Structure 1
Amino acid sequence: MHTTITVIGLGNLGRALAHTLLRDGHPTTVWNRSPHKAEALVAQGATSTTTAAEAIAAGDLVLIALLDPTAARKVLTEAGDAVRGRTLVNLTSGGPDDARELATWAAEHDGEYLHGAVYAVPQTIGTAEASINYSGSEAAHHRWQSQLDLLGRSTFLGTDAGRASGYDVAILAGMYGTIGGFLHAAAMAQAAGISAADLTPKLLSWLTDMFPALSTFAREIDDKEYSTEESSLVMNQSGLATIIAASQAQGVPATTLLPLKDLIDREVTAGHGAASLARAVESLKAAG
């Protein structure tokens, strides 16, 4: 027998979730604040409801894919006791505390809670290219794993509901930092008469060679052991100052580099110039 599943939120991700479930033969109920987004799914066999509470009550497993944690909290709060006896799988992006707050709320309303972090573009949901990390109720993940695996490769990270989000926002911060660096590099290249297309293969080659250093940095950060004979903070302070000056001389603001330079400067000023570049993380933690 196929499980009755509900999808709350029909943006790009929600529609891809519902389509995947319908394709596999699951009776699927959908809800969206703008009802017209359900029309194509209804034509494929989904059932649309007028309220989120009705949709939640219709499914044993409830997938939530809304804009942000505020929207998810509002929709679930309005649904109230409809969550009783349901498993809520919240795929809405947010921070660890957002997930923990909703997990507590769900428990108070006799519902089970899993938080999911999606690593896929919507069109790859339901394929081997998609993966989703989960944390929260281990029993719920075990019970519904076959259904969750339909959406993408699933990995359970632990019973702390905020753990999947903790990984997610950190990974995305790294991703956006990388994109910011690439955009700065492209602007500098063009200012020097080099196309972004010509720059990119050489940049990718250098980054590929450099990325293993992140594992070394990770060990240094976890162990708080920053001694080095190679890439010291003072060495990087000098190199970064040169790059910033070159960027500004080309008319490209060093907006993406100045925050890192500030972290390095703080550590050097505090007497840690001989330490590894990874020690700059300590100024980030102190700032927090």
Structure 2
Amino acid sequence: MSATPVTLIGLGPMGQAMVRTLLKAGHPVTVWNRTAARAEGLVAEGATLAASPAEAVAASELVVLSLTDYQAMYDILGDSTDALAGRTLVNLSSDTPDRAREAAAWAASHGAAFLTGGVMVPAEMVGTEAAYVYYSGPSEVFEAHRPALARIGTPRPLGEDAGLAQLMYLAHLDVFLTSLSALMHATALLGSAGVSATEAVPELLPTLADIPAMLRAGGDVGAQIDAGEHPGHLSTATMMGATADHIAAASATAGIDLTLPRAVQAHYLRAIADGHGKENWTRIIDGIRRPRANG
């Protein structure tokens, strides 16, 4: 049985990695990119360059989009909507859950099925055993294309809501980007005392790696939060809040940016002010879920 033809629109590093992975697996791949020169290497490896977005869409039932955002989809396919009927669009671009839902409705209005996806590895890991991708949208549509999509990374379907894969993707990036900012802030804090980044970063990285074990030591933290249980057997909001105060004060003395430490400090101040100082630090989720009108 021959491999499913796939069209891939958008040839940044991620798009190129996906094309190469699909080609290696034997899929006929048609590509299109605003800057056609990006396709030259892929064509040499066996991809077919379409002359237009409409031609690219017409080439395959399965059309994968790897673009900057969802607006780029409209910009590229807006004049090619007649070609969309009967196609499945799989948008692996980053945007908001609401825009993903709007895109699903837009695709349906033109006779196309739609899946939202979030690739959870960098381009160089696409197609490896470590790669995984969240998807959401109609289950029958996903299952029809699971074999081809699995070439990119292990699929993790989340259900029918077109916005859910995008939300999961952003939740992961929420942790990732905040952690990177924290790493740079801590490096700057140490730098204020003459510690080089070369020295600081290796010292700080183990803390990031140790967080999962720290959380597991406290039991099933997620289940406790869902049950509304914050018993105080972990570090309490008061204890963690005191540390947050010290970090903010040290940052002020060092003359470095206070945006991040003050944001963290505010979470603990809120929990303590609401009478939860003796409970687990996880109580800060209440204030995150229900921010006060004036911040």
Q: Is the 8 A contact 2:234 2:281 kept in 1?
A: no
Partner amino acid, structure 1, of 2:252: Q
Answering whether residue 235 of structure 2 is matched by residue 231 of structure 1, we say yes
2:180 maps to a residue whose letter is I
Q: Give the Cα–Cα distance (whole angstroms) in 1 for the partners of residues 264 and 51 of structure 2.
A: 50
2:62 equivalent in structure 1:
61
Range that drifts further, 267-276 or 24-33: 267-276
Per-residue displacement from partner, 1:44-96 (whole Å, max 9, x unpaired)?
A: 23222232122111111111001112112333333212111111111111222
Per the alignment, residue 240 of structure 1 pairs with: 244
Equivalents in 1 of 2:129, 2:13: separation in Å? 18
Structure 1 residues 233 and 10, CA, compared in 2 at 3 Å: closer, same or farther? same
**Which deviations, in whole Å up to 9, do the C-alpha atoms of 1:180-205 show, x marking residues without a partner?**
11111111122223333434444344
2:37 aligned partner: 36
CA distance in 2, matches of 1:24, 1:261: 50
With over 3 angstroms needed to count, the CA separation of the structure-2 counterparts of 1:206 and 1:21, relative to structure 1, is closer
Q: CA deviation at 1:207?
A: 4.0
Contact 1:220 1:278 in 2 (8 A): no
1:227-275: CA deviation from partner (whole Å, max 9, x where unpaired): 3254222222222111221222223233321111122222323333333
1:13-72, Cα deviation, whole Å (9 max, x unpaired) = 111222222223322211112222222222223222232122111111111001112112
- The answer to which of 113-122 and 165-174 deviates more is 113-122
Q: How does 1:1-288 map to 2 (within 5 A)?
A: 1-214=2-215, 216-287=220-291
Q: Secondary structure at the match of 2:143?
A: helix
Unmatched 5+ stretches in structure 2: none
Question: SS of the residue aligned with 2:78?
Answer: helix
User: Partners in 2 of 1:8 and 1:229 — Cα distance?
Assistant: 51
TM-score, normalised via structure 1 length: 0.91
What is the SS of the residue equivalent to 2:278?
Answer: coil
Aligned residues with identical type, % of pairs:
37
Q: Is the 8 A contact 1:189 1:199 kept in 2?
A: yes
Unaligned runs of 5+ in 1: none
**How far apart in 1 are the matches of 2:14 and 2:102?**
23
**Match of 1:85, SS?**
coil
Question: Contact 1:134–1:155 at 8 Å: present in 2 too?
Answer: yes
Alpha-carbon RMSD across the aligned residues, in angstroms, is: 2.1
The two structures have a TM-score, normalised by structure 2, of 0.89
Distance between the aligned counterparts of 1:270 and 1:67, measured in 2? 41
**Alignment: residue pair count:** 288
Q: Distance in 1 between matches of 2:150 and 2:241?
A: 47
